[in-house]
Structure 1
């Protein structure tokens, strides 16, 4: 939040959008492994982001993440500023490199 100069709602919502994409793409068992390592994550992928569950639960592609960022009043370019911060946090929490690699490729900019 402080690193990007955004509100807490934007930080939580943006992170939640990326995590929801990961959950939909990688499956809930992978996400369980992730959230068991990173204790702060379960709350971020929930509906307490101000966006509501319906918007977050439908995220199945980066375009859905972009829509969520737009709904939060952020430019889609912000997504690539969130990714290294989340990846750093997950690495610090002891998330394995294979799982980090899956997330990195999932969240990589299309193009």
Structure 2
């Protein structure tokens, strides 16, 4: 399964609803992820540009996309940003496979010093 990290922000109306009726949204999101064949690994709230971050596994990109589409449908989220996470092992393997000699840069390109 692939790993995905989604950062999200709630709308002001959603925060108003949470202030009136506090709710653990990690349980709701976990149920969604599991129903679609994935697994929720982490759910955190944070300060900054986004209100929270989730890390979850999904069997494929279509399932990950369906998870986020389903999660945003109620309209309580104002923004999401999903990133595919790559393990250190897979990144090192990619580094070994990469061969800069096989890809020519633009004409007149000089390597920055």
TM exceeds 0.5?
A: no
Ranked by relative contact order (alpha carbons within 8 Å, sequence separation 6 or more), the top structure is 2
| TM-score (normalizing by structure 2) | 0.30
Higher helix share: 1
* TM-score, normalised relative to structure 1: 0.31
**Which structure features the higher share of strand residues?**
2
Larger Rg: 2
